[in-house]
Amino acid sequence: DTAVSQTPKYLVTQMGNDKSIKCEQNLGHDTMYWYKQDSKKFLKIMFSYNNKELIINETVPNRFSPKSPDKAHLNLHINSLELGDSAVYFCASSPVPGELFFGEGSRLTVL
Amino acid sequence: AQTVTQSQPEMSVQEAETVTLSCTYDTSENNYYLFWYKQPPSRQMILVIRQEAYKQQNATENRFSVNFQKAAKSFSLKISDSQLGDTAMYFCAFLFFGNEKLTFGTGTRLTIIP
């Protein structure tokens, strides 16, 4: 049973396209996150939701729009993709602050 | 804003040896949490160990232990009897008490040599 699952695991797309990444957790956690890991492995938080409400919105271009239809799902939509968006995007959920359960990541490559 | 520094980009040790990964952080706060996360080559990150700043006792989880020096703002991870499965990126992370935003260090790539 996968605890935090992300789809797709790989995306390759052209600049200017729009793409979405879906995330689902079956752990019953109230809080979910999106993190971005760049080519140097640096991890940075993008968004956090608690029970469908946005609680953290870092300085992220507004081309990135998260959506949480329910507390088990947190999707990430990216408009007008740019080369610099190439990264691995991790979804995570947590029962308590700091203790994150991560998905396997979605590697986005923008050509 | 707090910063988390991992000064060792890469390390390697022989299997069964003990290895210590360094982490320092900068904060003016008194209440916070510190964590070590492991990211194996398969990419999925997992929590290794957690330390509350108000606790003087160092956290331990089986072969993993920390040396938490609050005054020095240092939080190192010791892996005893290292195993091949310990090969991974290790990230130190900081969290303010009452906050949800986890700040990660730049990571240390650890390789266990057979």
Model confidence over B70-96: pLDDT tens digits? 999 999 999 999 999 999 999 999 999
CA of A105, closest CA in chain B: separation in Å? 7
Q: Which of A50, A58, A97 sits opposite B99 (nearest CB)?
A: A97
Span A87-102, pLDDT tens digits: 999 999 999 989 999 9
The two structure tokens encoding residue B92: 């130190």
Nearest-angstrom CA–CA distance, A80 and A84: 11
Span B25-34, pLDDT tens digits: 999 888 999 9
pLDDT at B56 over 90: no
CA distances, B3 to each of B28, B67, B91, B98 (Å): 11, 19, 13, 18
The per-residue pLDDT for A52 is 86
Q: Which of B45, B93, B101 sits opposite A102 (nearest CB)?
A: B45
Span A21-34, pLDDT tens digits: 999 999 999 999 99
CB of A99 within 8 Å of a chain B CB? The answer is: yes
CA of A63, closest CA in chain B: separation in Å? 21
The per-residue pLDDT for A1 is 65
CA of A68, closest CA in chain B: separation in Å? 17
The per-residue pLDDT for A60 is 86
Contact B106, A42 (CB under 8 A): yes
Tally helices (H) and strands (E) across chain B.
0, 12
Residue in A closest to B109 by C-alpha: A41
The two structure tokens encoding residue A68: 């949480």
